[in-house]
Amino acid sequence: MEATTLSAGFRPLLKPGGYRFPRSCSQRNSSSLVRCHSKEASGGFIKPKPEGSIAITHRKLSFKTNVFEQARSVSGDCSYDDATAKTRSHVAEDKIGVLLLNLGGPETLNDVQPFLYNLFADPDIIRLPRPFQFLQGTIAKFISVVRAPKSKEGYAAIGGGSPLRKITDEQADAIRMALEAKNISANVYVGMRYWFPFTEEAVQQIKKDKITRLVVLPLYPQYSISTTGSSIRVLQDLFRKDPYLAGVPVAIIQSWYQRRGYVNSMADLIEKELQKFSDPNEVMIFFSAHGVPVSYVENAGDPYQKQMEECIDLIMDELKSRGVLNDHKLAYQSRVGPVQWLKPYTDEVLVDLGKKGVKSLLAVPVSFVSEHIETLEEIDMEYRELALESGVENWGRVPALGLTASFITDLADAVIESLPSAEAMVSEDSESSDVFSYIVKMFFGSILAFVLLLSPKMFHAFRNHLI
C-alpha cells in the first residue's frame, strides 16, 4: 500500500544494504530522478473559512522542523504580478530546483516486500514508545513478510506494479514545461519516501547540480505528519548534515488544498463525471480520503482531518456556485491494524448508503493526485464491488488529477509564488542549539544511568547475574 500512513518519529530507516537494491544504468536512466530546464496564469489561495482554518506552523505541531522555514501562503491579497516580479529578481541570479515529494511504490511484484519493509520501518508510520524503538526494524520485517502475499495480489490485479513513479515523472516533466512557459528555468526532481528514486538520491542530485534556490512541493494536497511531515524530516536531516545544502534557500509548500487552481480542477473533473449518469442530479458525490489513526489528530496535533474537511467544503462551494447541488459524503479508506482510524470508514459508509436507498454514486479520491493501488484496486475493485452488493446500481469514479492542465499550471504558479520566501535552512543558532541539547541530554542521561547502576536492586541483579 503506497499510502498506508500510520505515526510520528523521524529518520528513514531503510535496511542497510538490504532493500536499496543496486540498479543497472538502464534502470537508473529510465523514468527518473531529474527533470531538467525548467514560465503567468492567475494562481493563489482561496481564503479558508475562519472556523476551519489551520495554521501550519513549526511551533504548533509536535515535531521540530526549525531547519526549514515554512513557505508563506500567497493569498488573494497579494497579486500574482507582485509575486512574479519578486521571482524575476531571484531567477536572474539563482539556479532553481523544484523537488516533488511522494511515497513511491513497488514497480514489480518482487519489490513489494522490501517496499513494505521501508514503509513500516519509518517511525512516522509505526510509532513505538522510546524504550522499544530498537524493535522498529524487527517489527517492520515481520509486518512486511506477513502482508506481502496479500499486497502482491493487489498489485498483480493492477498490472504487476505501481504506476506511481511513471506518473510522478510525467508530472515533473509537465511542471517543468509549465514553468518554462512562464519564463522560469528550473530543474525538477522526484524524491520518493519508500522506493526509487529515494529522496536521498534526489538530494544528492540537487547538490551535484549546484542548485542555489529550491522549492519543495509535496504531492499531498493536505498536510499530515505521516506524509509531508515524514518527508520533510528526512530532508531536514540531510540538509543539516551537509554544509552546502544547509546554505541553500528553501521554500516548502506545506499544503495546497486551498488553492483556487486545485479546487477548480477537482470541481471540473467531478462536474464532467456527473454528466455520464443518466440523472446527474440524483448522484451522491462520495469523497474517499486516505485515513490516518485518530491518535495522530488527537495526540500529535495532525491538521489532516480539518484540512480535509475544509477541502471538501471548498470543492462543494465551487460546485454549488456552478449550480451543482448534489448531496455529498466524506469517508476515510485504507485503515490497517487494530488502532482506531478517522471515521467514518469508506467500506462501512458504502454499505450504509446502499441500505438507505442511494442508487447512484460518484467516488472521488480526494487525497490522491495520481492513480495507484488505493484508486485502481481499492476503490475501483474492492469498494465498487461492495457498493454494488449493497444496493448501489450506478457507480462512477472521478480520475486522479494526474496531468490535468489546470492542475499542473496551478502547481507551477505555486512554485513561482513561493520562490521569494525561500530562506537558508540552517542558522548558526540552530546548530549550536542542537549541540547544546545533545550535551544536556548526554549529561543528564549519564547521571541517570549512574544512579540506576548504584541502586541496591541493580547491584544485586548484576551480582546475581555474574554468580
Q: Is 356 exposed, middle or buried (0-12, 13-18, 19+ CB in 10 A)?
A: exposed
**168-187 pLDDT per residue, tens:** 999 999 999 999 999 999 99
Mean pLDDT over 246-253 rounds to 97
304 and 187, same structural domain?
A: no
Strand order across the 213-218 sheet:
34-35, 186-192, 96-102, 213-218, 250-252
**253-302 pLDDT per residue, tens:** 999 999 999 999 999 999 999 999 999 999 999 999 999 999 999 999 99
Contacts of 201 (CB under 8 A, 6+ apart): 33, 191
CA distance 103 to 446: 39
Residue 166 lies in a domain: no
Residue 165 lies in a domain: no
CA distance 396 to 386: 13
Residue 458, pLDDT above cutoff 80: no
CB 288 within 8 A of CB 395: no
Contacts of 458 (CB under 8 A, 6+ apart): 452
Specify the DSSP class assigned to residue 396: E
Q: Is the pTM of this model over 0.85?
A: no
183 and 67, same structural domain?
A: yes
Residue 46, pLDDT above cutoff 90: no
**How many domains are contained in the chain?**
4
302 and 380, same structural domain?
A: yes
414 and 325, same structural domain?
A: no
Per the listing, cell 493526485 goes with 369
Residue 174 lies in a domain: no
CB 194 within 8 A of CB 106: no
20 and 70, same structural domain?
A: yes
C-alpha cell at 249: 534557500
**Angle, to 10 degrees, between the axis of helix 136-157 and the axis of helix 112-120?**
140
185 and 41, same structural domain?
A: yes
Per-residue model confidence (pLDDT) at position 329: 98
Specify the DSSP class assigned to residue 301: -
42 and 74, same structural domain?
A: yes
68 and 39, same structural domain?
A: yes
21-35, 125-139, 277-291, 372-386: least confidently modelled range: 21-35
Cis omega (within 30 of 0) for bond into 344: yes
Under the banding of pLDDT at 50, 70 and 90, the label for residue 450 is very low
Phi/psi at 160 (5° precision) = 100, 5
Phi/psi at 93 (5° precision) = -115, -5
Residue 170 lies in a domain: no
Phi/psi at 48 (5° precision) = -65, 155
Phi-psi region of 160 (alpha: psi -120 to 50; beta: other; left: phi over 0): left
Per-residue model confidence (pLDDT) at position 466: 36
Under the banding of pLDDT at 50, 70 and 90, the label for residue 380 is very high
Domain with residue 37: its CATH number is: 3.40.50
Residue ranges in 121-259 assigned as alpha helix (H): 136-157, 164-181, 199-208, 228-241, 243-246
Three-class SS string for 317-368? HHHHHCCCCCCEEEEEECCCCCCCECCCEHHHHHHHHHHCCCCEEEEEECCC
Q: Which residue range(s) make up the domain with 459?
A: 432-466
Residue 167 lies in a domain: no
